[in-house]
Structure formats: C-alpha cells, structure tokens
A = this chain, B = another copy of it.
Amino acid sequence: MTKPLILIVDDEPQIQRFLGHALAASGYDTCFAATGQGALEAVAAQKPDAMILDLGLPDLNGKAVIETLRAKSNLPIIVLSAHDQEMEKIMALDLGANDFVAKPFGIGELLARLRACLRKAPQPEDILRQGPLVIDLPGHTVTRDGAPVHLTPTEFDLLVMLARNPGRVLSHRQILLQIWGPAHGEDVPYLRVFIGQLRQKIESNPSAPDLIRTEPGIGYRWMAD
C-alpha cells in the first residue's frame, strides 16, 4: 500500500503550503490546484485518493466542481469554507461532498475527517494486491513476488473478476455468464479447468489454495486479508 495522494485546491499560496506541510508530515502525498478548472484536470491526470476543496475559488464556483466530479466519480471531497454559514454546508453536502470544515479550522480536525473519509471510500482501484500478488489492470499484467506471471486472456479475466470481489462468493453461474457469455451459464467444467490452471500459476501451494477458495456446490471465493 502506497501513500494516499491528496489533492489540495486553494488559491491562496500560504494555505497551500500550510496544508501541504501538514499532510506530508502525516504521511500523505500531495498535489495542488489553484482553480476549479485546474482541479478537474488534476483529478483526471493524477487520480488522487481524496480532495480538499476551498469553496472560494477565482473561476469556477467550488460547487460546480463538486457537481462535475460527482457525475463520474466518488472521490472523497472535503470542503473548506471561510463562511461558517449553514447554507453553504447544506448545499455542499447535498451536492455530494463527504465532509465540511469551516475556516478557521484546526489541522487536527481536518486530518481526522480526512482519515474518516479515506477509511470508507475505497474507490475502484487500478491495481489489486493480495499477499505477494499484484494485478495491474491498466497494464494487463500480473506479478508474484515481483516476477511476472504469464496468464492467458481468459485466465486473466477470471482472476480479475475474482479479485474484484474479495471475501465474497461468486457462483459458478455468475462467473460463467460474465466470462464466457450468456450461452455458457451451465458449463461448470470449463470453470474447473481454468480455476485449476490459475491456481497452478498464482498459488504458492496449488494443492492447498489460499487465494482462490472453493465453496462446494456454490462457486469460488477470493480470500481477503
């Protein structure tokens, strides 16, 4: 697990610096934007794990930023505002902000709220990890203990489907429908073969699997931590 990246959106350089130092000291990576437009670009380019957004921006209204982001992502957003007006809070929260802190704020409170937001907003990750295994979705590659693992396309799809549902049981039927298409909902033997091949390639001890566990009569489950 790498350090969470926090995007700070504020047009006052002093506040940028202040927040930047405080967050860095608490173990976060940071990046910055000074305008609403810049914020949207930074989100797209850097894919931060959370955003701290000052409502008082020069160009776009901060609320427009929230609205735009919410249309396509559930990035945790903490709103910062000079005005301790109730109306501000209500509107920001209703637009989809996750939390609200009024200036002047205590850095401790901000950090606590940030932790609370990060704790319960696990966005769909691009990189899945489980023990020694790393699955790079955009790169379409899998490595174990740093060594690349060669998977056929079907094996890869199957692995991704499992790893995206950690701890949950996926039924034979569910998996077959998603990977092999609507015509093969009953072809359980395919599944068995491919699960076997996957285990050979990714389990440290294929005969005592602890990543892909089988649920007799039901399906398979990807083990969470």
Residues of A within 8 A of B (CB): 74, 86-87, 89-90, 93-94, 96-99, 106, 108-109, 111-113, 115-116, 119-121, 138-141, 152-153, 167-169, 215-218, 221
Contacts and interface: CB of A to CB of B under 8 A. Distances in A.
A121 B90 CA distance: 19
Given A94-B112, A120-B120, A140-B221, 10 more contacts: A89-B109, A90-B109, A93-B113, A94-B115, A98-B116, A98-B120, A139-B168, A139-B169, A152-B216, A153-B217
B138 A168 contact: yes
Contacts of A120: 74, 98, 120-121
B140 A115 contact: no
Contacts of A168: 138-139
The 9 A-B pairs at the shortest CB distance, nearest first, are namely A90-B112, A153-B217, A93-B112, A86-B106, A140-B169, A93-B116, A86-B109, A89-B109, A90-B108
Contacts of A87: 108
A121 B180 CA distance: 32
A150 to B, nearest CB: 10
A106 to B, nearest CB: 4
Contacts of A141: 167, 169
A189 to B, nearest CB: 19
Contacts of A111: 90
